[in-house]
Structure 1
Amino acid sequence: MEEEHLHDDLQVFKDRNFFQQKLRSFITVYFLLALSFLLIIILFAVSFSRVSAISSKLNEVHPEQKQNFSGRDFLLFPCGPGSREWEYFDGKCYYFSLTRTSWYKAKAQCEEMHSHLVVVNSYAKQNFVMFRTRNERFWIGLTDENSEGEWEWIDGTDYKTTFTFWKEGEPNNSGHNEDCAHMWTSGQWNDVYCTYECYYVCEKPLPN
C-alpha cells in the first residue's frame, strides 16, 4: 500500500516537473519572440530616422542642383530654355518665322513675343540675318509709312547715321505704295507694299 502511494507521489512529482519544464520552454519562446519584436521596432525606428535625415539633406541640396541646371540651360539656350526656337547673336535673340504674313501682322506677332522686327544696324548683324534668310524674303523693322522717303527703324534707331544695305536702285517706291522694307533673296533690302506676305525676323534682348 505504501509502495503504491509512493509510486503515485513519484508520478505526481514527475508530472509537475514536466509541466514546469514545458512552462519554462513556453516562457523562453515568448520572451525570445517579444525580444525579436522589440528589435524589429528598434531597427525600423533607426531606418526611418536615417531615411528622414537623407531626405532632409537631399532637400537642402535640391535648390543648388536647380541653380546648376539653370546655369547649364543658360549655356545651351542663352535666350531661355522656354525660347529654344530663338537664336543668339551678339548679345541679342532672334526669331526667324516659319510662316508668311504682312508687315503689320509680322510687327504685331513680334510684339506678342515681347520683341520687335529686326533692326539691321551693322554689317555683322546684316551678315548674320542674311545667312539665315538666304533664298527667301524676310521683313525687317524699317518703314517710311509716316513720311514718304523718310525711312525709320521701328525701335527709334537713327536711320540716317546707321548702316544700310539697299539693293541697287532701291528704295524706289515703284508702286507708289512701297512703305515697308524686306530682305531680298540675295540679302539686300527692297521696299515693297506693306500688305505683301513674306517671312519675318523678330529681335529681343537677352532675358535677365
Structure 2
Amino acid sequence: MTTLNRRDLGLLVLRVGTGAVLAAHGSQKLFGWFGGGGLEGTAKGMESMGFHPPRQSAMAAGIAEAGGGLLLALGLATPAAGAAVTGNMAGAVSVHAPAGFFAQSGGFEYPAFLGFTAAAIGVMGPGRYSLDHVTRHRFDGPWILAAAFAASAIAAAAVLGKRVKGQIGADVDPMDTEKDQGVDTLED
C-alpha cells in the first residue's frame, strides 16, 4: 500500500481513542485499576444507583466497557462491541440524566457522547486498518450488526425498566451516593 486512506486512518484514530477510554473505565470497575473501586466497590455503587443484582450489574458494566473498548480499539467484532458499549452507556445516561446535560454538573453529556460514538463506529464499521478487515469481516457482517444492536436495545430496556421499577417510591438520589461508594463515574 503506497497511500493511506484518510477515512480508514480517521476510523483507526477514533476507534483506538474511544476504545482506550472505555477499556480504562472498565478496568477501574473490574480490577480497581487507575483508582477505581474494583468489582466490590462498583457493586456497592450499582446497588445505590438501583441496579440489581449489583455484583452482576457491576460485572456486566465492566465487561461492556473493558471488553467492548478493547474490541473497538482492535476493530474486531466491531458491531457487537459498539452495541455492547451503547447499551451500557444507556444505563450510565439514566443515572446522570437527573443532573441535566452538562458533565460539570454531573449530567449525561459524557456517557451519551461515548454511547453515540460507539454506536457510530459499530454501524459504520472499523475501516481497513482493523482485525475485522484482516479476518475478512467474519465477525462484523450485516446480520451481526442487526442482531447485536437489537440484543443490546432489548437488554438495556430490560435493565433500565427493572431499575426504574425498583426506584418507584424510593427516596434515593443516585447522584448523592455514587461518589460516596468509591465508584468510578465517567467524569472521573
- Greater Rg over alpha carbons, structure: 1
TM-score grouping bracket, smaller chain normalisation: under 0.3
- Give the TM-score normalised by the residue count of structure 2: 0.21
More RCO (CA 8 Å, sep 6+)? 2
Q: Per residue, is there more helix in 1 or in 2?
A: 2
